[in-house]
Structure 1
């Protein structure tokens, strides 16, 4: 790719863009300075996840501009899920637009028909796998230490995520919603969301200001082709088109900034609780047999004799217990707050009750006050006894 090609986005934006383009560009520039500090350009690559919608197109033009100015290797990937007629042609058109901006643009066709979690979850899983593969390929091609995958989630997406998780009765760890920076492959691939402080209306205005065409995905509509298992609109689409407008009307204010602020505050609280839980884990949890039972599981003993667990705040203790259940081989998707509560009762409210059944595990109080977590059910052959 020639220097003139690489500078296409720079020419489009100009040296000091104003309006919506300026707001998006500033957000991306600040994020990249934080994520890839000056002087580390040769050690990092940037992969843009571009669906072709207004959010990802606004992100792409600003990111290509900034990467070109900083000398960062940048590549763009559009994923064709193959779930609707004409999707391959549409993906090729998006890649062509990106190439016109000076991006090294590629298309990945994936099979998003895998069962489990509905069409949204299957598409999301296939998309992430494609992005991870391309990120590792870019890392190899560029000789970089790490690759940063930039995603186009906005403040509006964050607010929708908070509402969806509130409706599920999620705790503070879930209400942090989407983090600005997430590790996908430790030491190799990270995912970044530069636009969490930017409104969706700004990304659309940015594209209009710069004359960028974008794709309208019909699956984002509540009347689109994808439906929930009960035939109703997909949950995120319904929240976007119905719940948030209803909240705005009922409250008399736009709820999106407040919901995004809730996510930021929840992230701070969650980090503090995780730090305390880590300290408590070191004091109170002992791995007896890391190879036992189910894959990735083993036998853990929770030390209750010193009362460190029993007297810890429930918010901290329950985090340790949840982590212990998973470490012992509990099935992540099946572990609920009720299961954590059963172990918590053995630790902090024991009055002679028997063992507690957990997904794939048994927890039982031992003589001397410890609680043992081990794979299996009471009475199963191979289930460890006290």
Structure 2
């Protein structure tokens, strides 16, 4: 859905209110670091967060393409998507495309819808980074969900400002600011009924758990959770570099050159003498490179036990096989191995 004409001629002037300036500054700061070409796509749902992001991006970037995903899960979703596309063009987007998707059932509706949405956005972005309207509040909810899973520091690192191709300029902005932006701008955002349904865990976190934590702890909880996530991402980046060095050392070290093969195996001796935090990160990277999928903390610790608590136990099946085969990590002749059986 495109419309000819100058972008500047079509761009509505933004009022200079505190909310508008905060969001514009967030987008302005994000662009030179992650999108120096200043051409981006924006995932637009029509809600306040993505609407405010789109309006700010049109002013701050050189060109903006709006991508609107129609999950087709609710009556009237096609009209909501069409309205969002029309709003994008009024704001001054270079183009606006509606992407219809089929939502499966694997992992529940939330996970299936997210998978379908990201797949559609990834296929339609035409090489551009895709801006997502996640806010500081979304970050806090993500950290709490990760904390509940108990899968270690990586699960509570939250979302990054940029993880190619996904950009999140508003991670330091509160959700209330995006709503105020729309009010100041005179835009009416779409209210998705799913965002108020207690059937979804994230909605209950948003409407029940976080407000309770804010009340009990005297406020500032969402911002504190977001700061914690940022600190963990910084620490995690350093640990990942060190774990990569460990992984390469474990791949190359062989006490007996005669046992060398073309298989990607790891030295038990090298891994066993490394700190646990680095060893498990190295093993995780090795498993993922070998085709493992949906690794859990239970999987990782079971493979780690092949190194640190060897009692003759058999191999560990990890996700990533096929209907006829399993991906199995094992221990053979002083090395970690990975086979499809």
| Superposition TM-score, scaled by structure 2 size | 0.88
Cα 1:354–1:96 change in 2 (3 A) is closer
**Conserved? CA contact 1:172–1:269, under 8 Å:** no
SS of 1:262's partner is helix
Alignment partner, residue 348 of structure 1: 308
Query: Can you give the 5+ residue segments of structure 2 that lack an aligned partner in the other structure?
Result: 254-261, 319-325
Partner of 1:6: 8
1:313 aligned onto 2:304: no
1:292 equivalent in structure 2: none
User: What is the CA-CA distance between 1:61 and the residue it aligns to?
Assistant: 0.6
SS across alignment from 2:204: helix
SS in 2 for 1:127: helix
Q: How many residues align?
A: 324
Root-mean-square deviation over aligned CA pairs? 2.1
SS of residue in 2 equivalent to 1:147 = coil
Using the TM superposition, give the Cα deviation of residue 356 of structure 1 relative to its aligned residue in structure 2, in angstroms: 2.7
Q: Which residue of structure 2 lines up, in the alignment, with residue 98 of structure 1?
A: 88
47, 58, 74: which one pairs with 2:41? 47
Q: Distance in 1 between matches of 2:70 and 2:330?
A: 50
- 1:373 Cα deviation from its structure 2 partner: 2.7
Give the distance between the partners of 1:354 and 1:122, measured in 2 at CA. 36
CA distance in 1 between counterparts of 2:168 and 2:220 reads 22
Point out where structure 1 has 5 or more consecutive residues left out of the alignment. 137-145, 184-189, 224-232, 288-297, 377-386
User: Which of 329, 336, 339 is the equivalent residue of 1:371?
Assistant: 336
Q: Residue deviations 1:246-268, cap 9 Å, x none?
A: 11111121310001001101101
Runs of 4+ in 1 over 4 A off after TM superposition: none
Identify the match of residue 269 of structure 1 among 212, 232, 235: 235
1:153 is matched with 134
**TM superposition shift of 1:323:** 2.5
**Separation in 2 of the partners of 1:196 and 1:22?**
15
Whole-angstrom CA distance in 2 between matches of 1:255 and 1:357: 39
TM-score, normalization by structure 1: 0.79
Which string of whole-angstrom CA distances, capped at 9 and with x for unpartnered residues, describes residues 189-212 of structure 1? x21100000000000001111111
CA distance in 2, matches of 1:303, 1:344: 12
Residue 160 (structure 2) aligns with: 179
Change (3 A) 1:90 1:361: closer
CA distance change for structure 1 residues 364 and 102 in 2, over 3 Å: closer, same or farther? closer
Q: In structure 2, the residue corresponding to 1:113 is in which secondary structure?
A: coil
Which residue of the partner structure matches residue 63 of structure 2? 73
Compute the displacement of 1:363 (Å).
3.9
Distance 1:255 1:217 in 2: 25
Q: Quick one: distance in 1 between partners of 2:301 and 2:91?
A: 54
- The answer for the alignment partner of 2:22 in structure 1 is 23
Alpha-carbon spacing, 1:373–1:108, altered in 2? closer, same or farther (3 Å): same
Q: Residues 80-133 of structure 1, C-alpha deviation per residue, up to 9 Å, x if partnerless?
A: 111111111111111112211111342424233312011112221221122122
Look up the SS of the partner of 1:178 in the other structure.
coil
Q: Is the 8 A contact 1:82 1:109 kept in 2?
A: no
Q: Determine the C-alpha separation between the residues in 2 that align with 1:354 and 1:102.
A: 63
